[in-house]
Amino acid sequence: MRRKGQRGLTLIELIVAFTILMLLSAMAIPLARYRIRREREQQLQYALREIHDAIDKYKDAADGGKLGPIKLGTDGYPETLDVLVEGVKLSGQVDKKIKFLRHIPKDPMTNSREWGKRSTQDDPKGNSWGGQNVFDVFTKSTEKARDGTPYSEW
């Protein structure tokens, strides 16, 4: 029983309040982790799409003869990712360059701008790059997606 003029919470009320607070926070943490992981997956898909589109545009320009003669062994694909950013001189033009990317996107899984690369001569499932050209890019992360597939296979 409380005396007149006394205010405050009993020990039981404090324990119940802290228990409810702990349960709510325990439910919120997995949801926050799931949301962060999902955002990183979306960023990875966007970055991969951006790089793949730039590689495809380079290949189309090379096959169309806009970049001059195709270098032997490249099959019309860029030699490195930096070529897509630095640009390539158009054939028949003195000072005109065409750029395919403003910058190399950051890999959200590894938090770096280093991507795994595959050339047309490499094993499609392999992680080593032969260096002839850049046909495909993938994340160097060893983590797996929610469906069990490795991010490097995206």
Where are the chain's structural domains? 12-153
Q: Is pLDDT above 80 for 92? A: no
**Which is more confident, 58 or 123?**
58
pLDDT tier at 107, thresholds 50, 70, 90:
very high
- The region of weakest confidence among 1-5, 72-76, 101-105, 126-130 is 1-5
pTM: 0.77
8 Å CB contact between 97 and 90: yes
List helix spans (H) across 64-98. 82-86
